[in-house]
Structure 1
Amino acid sequence: MLKDVKISVRQFAVLVMIYTIGTTILVIPSGLAADAKQDAWLAAIIGVGLNLLIVCLYNKVGGYFPNMTLTEYNEKLFGKWLGKILSLSFIFFSFVGSATVLFYMGNFVNTQVMPETPIQFVNLIFAIVVAMGVRLGLETIIRAAEIFFPWIIMLFIILVACLLPEIQLEKLQPIFSVGSKPLIKAAISVVGTSALPFIVLLMVFPAHVNQYQKAKKAFLLATLIGGAGFVIITFLCISVLGTKMTERHMFPSYALAKQINIGNFLERVEILIAGIWFLTVYFKTTFYFYGFVTGLAQILNIEDYRPLVLPLGMILVVFSLIVYPNVAYMAEFDTKIYIPYALTIGLLYPILIVGVAAIRKLMTKN
């Protein structure tokens, strides 16, 4: 299973930052505004703090089995059959994640950029590029991420700089008006969207990272930096668009970029946010799909996962078209079903791994 593939700590940090931003910057401000109103940016900050706790948990998981991927140490820890069942639940989560993100991409392009293009063709073209990346392997994907990362940062800085004159601080008032319960609910939605999907990275970390101790610190730092990105976007959405506009838009940060107008000369630059999103969503979809394909290959004891990429990619395209029958179902699923599902796979499951590993380690010592 290509055991000799290794990536550097810097490359892993870039991957984590891109993965954190992913779908978050385009989608999450709307849900935060619905729950926390003008305090949405505070909920985003609380969510980043919770994200760091989740990363500490994943660092702990990786510390017990530094030379194995998640599906490999499932069997070592829980036995052959129970381990395979748990691994199947994980790879199904990866599959659903890749399909839903692919739907987001197709829906965004179909509704905002090219309304006359059928979503089937958008999903198919995007999935072909994702499958190409997964087939070329981990090192190729990471090097591509390194190349595009400076462009993502540059586009983000330009976007923020152009929106600074549009900020109206009175739209943030009154602060702390919604109470603690909506803030916590909104923060949990941040965790479910940005941090809990990190469990897919356990197919890479720490088995394929060359310096585990440094990678743990890089994991935390990259999560913090990526989190700062969507905190800034949420702050801008509330302070520029206002609570009601942010809540009403499905893609509020895209609507935010439409507000840029400098001297009636620099305007209609929403392609900046679209460019950031296309790049980050590509890598998020790719690693969801990578976790799905490599995990299934390891369960089936297949040495090389690449023959599975094409048939599973075809299944992915079909599933991405039926995973959400309509946008109303998508909103209902994301708020009431996905968050508990992500908490089960991304939080309770790693806690179970840490608990069982600690007990077995103690029994071995005794």
Structure 2
Amino acid sequence: MRELGELIASVILPRTPQVVFSIFMVTVCAYAVSQGLEVIARVTELFYPFILTLFGLMLILVYGHMQFTHLFPVLEHGIRPVLLASLDPSAWRGEFIVLAMFLPYLARPGRGRSDAMLAAALVGFILLLDALASTAIFGVTTARINYPTFEMVRLAGIGQFFTRMDAVWIIIWLFGMFGKVGIFLYVTVIAATQLLNLKQDRPMIIPLSILTIVLSLSLFENSTLMILFLTGPFISYAFSAELFIPTILLIIALLRGKTAVCRDGF
């Protein structure tokens, strides 16, 4: 959420404090969480086809700016730099582990594993297309651009009458951020409710929403420090929470004979 706030503050609403955006986004997500998981799912289901359609249209409109020679040579310096560079995206794509929290709420838990893998594959394919398109347009400078997708959208247009799609993309990005923040806030509320052994989860929504706003604004002084964290310490934190801890819990569950975990989902 802080990353999108930095983008909006720098290119769309430079005079608007980020706290306004954070309060607005978290308030909407908190209301959705209070209404239940189905509301979040239906809203995202409604808007994601539109997001995918716009993404496909964007690729078509920027095709003329692509120079596929920028994609070569492949593995010029071997596989090691590629593997090292993959740690950062692998860390935040590992957030898919949060889907495991929804297994108890599925009408057909047996499909949880296959559906999650399908979703991960589709998202990975879309991000692959985005990375290839950005690299084909900007070449080696892509790595030095903070928001390459946004810069790519700015190039999209038809003649002089169909331009400035960046504002439309920001709106679509807001809907995508609603889905992510809403899901993470919902999972956090459920986890806190279970940890504190509360009977209802509603009392946790407002405190955790306020905490989300405070942390999004106070963790980093500027976007540079945020990017340094995301490409550095965040990787070890992410792999610990997304891979190490779930693996340990799975091993403990298997040792205790709870093999139903494997049959029902992950």
TM-score, shorter chain, exceeding 0.5: yes
- Per the alignment, residue 96 of structure 2 pairs with 198
2:139 counterpart of 1:242: yes
What residue in structure 1 maps to residue 254 of structure 2? 358
Shift of 1:221: 1.2
CA–CA distance in structure 2, aligned partners of residues 316 and 361 of structure 1? 37
CA contact (8 A) 2:66 2:133 kept: yes
What is the Cα deviation at residue 178 of structure 1?
A: 2.9
Q: Retained in 2: the 8 A contact 1:155–1:272?
A: no
Give the Cα–Cα distance (whole angstroms) in 2 for the partners of residues 339 and 185 of structure 1: 11
Query: How far apart are the structure 2 equivalents of 1:277 and 1:177?
Result: 34
State whether residues 159 and 272 of structure 1, in contact with CA within 8 Å, keep that contact through their aligned partners in structure 2.
Answer: no
Map of 1:310 onto structure 2: 206
Is 1:166 aligned to 2:65, yes or no?
yes
Q: Offset of 1:239 from its aligned partner?
A: 0.3
TM alignment of 1:15-94, pairs within 5 A: none
Could you say what secondary structure the match of 1:274 adopts? Answer: helix
What is the TM-score when the length of structure 2 is the normalising length? Answer: 0.92
Counterpart of 1:337 in structure 2 is: 233
For structure 1, which runs of at least 5 residues remain unmatched after alignment? 1-101
The yes-or-no answer on 1:180 pairing with 2:88 is no
Following TM superposition, by how much is the alpha carbon of 1:225 offset from its aligned partner in structure 2, in angstroms?
0.8
Shift of the alpha carbon at 1:322? 0.4
Q: Shift of the alpha carbon at 1:267?
A: 2.0
Which residue type is aligned with residue 202 of structure 1?
Answer: A
Residue type at the aligned position of 1:247: A
Letter of the aligned partner of 2:100 in structure 1?
Answer: L
Q: Relative contact order: is structure 1 or structure 2 higher (C-alpha 8 Å, sep ≥ 6)?
A: 1
- Cα distance between partner residues in 1 of 2:253 and 2:195: 20
Cα displacement (A) at 1:253: 0.4
Residue 186 of structure 2 corresponds to residue 290 of structure 1:
yes
Matched letter for residue 203 of structure 1: M
The verdict on how the C-alpha distance between 1:257 and 1:190 changes in structure 2, with shifts beyond 3 A counting, is: same
Paired amino acid for 1:219: A
1:153 is aligned to 2:52: yes
Percent identity of paired positions between Structure 1 and Structure 2: 26
Q: Which residue of 2 aligns with 1:256?
A: 152
User: Would you say the 8 A contact 2:32–2:39 is kept in 1?
Assistant: yes
Partner-residue secondary structure (3-state), 2:99: helix
State the superposition RMSD in angstroms: 1.7
Partner of 2:264: none
Distance in 2, Cα, partners of 1:271 & 1:180: 38
1:123 shift after superposition:
1.0
1:276/1:181 Cα in 2 relative to 1: closer, same or farther (>3 Å)? farther
- The corresponding residue for 1:105 is 4
Instruction: Note the C-alpha offset of 1:272.
Output: 4.0
Q: How many residues align?
A: 259
Q: 1:148 and 1:106 mapped to 2: Cα distance?
A: 20
- 2:107 matched residue in structure 1: 210
Does the 8 Å CA contact 1:156/1:276 hold for their aligned counterparts?
A: no
TM-score by length of 1: 0.68
Q: Which amino acid is 2:219 matched to?
A: V
Runs of 4+ in 1 over 6 A off after TM superposition: none
* Equivalent-residue separation in structure 1 for 2:99 and 2:12 (angstroms): 31
SS in 1 for 2:200: coil
Corresponding position of 2:263: none
Give the Å deviation of 1:212.
2.0
CA contact (8 A) 2:3 2:223 kept: no
The alpha carbon displacement at 1:337 in A equals 0.6
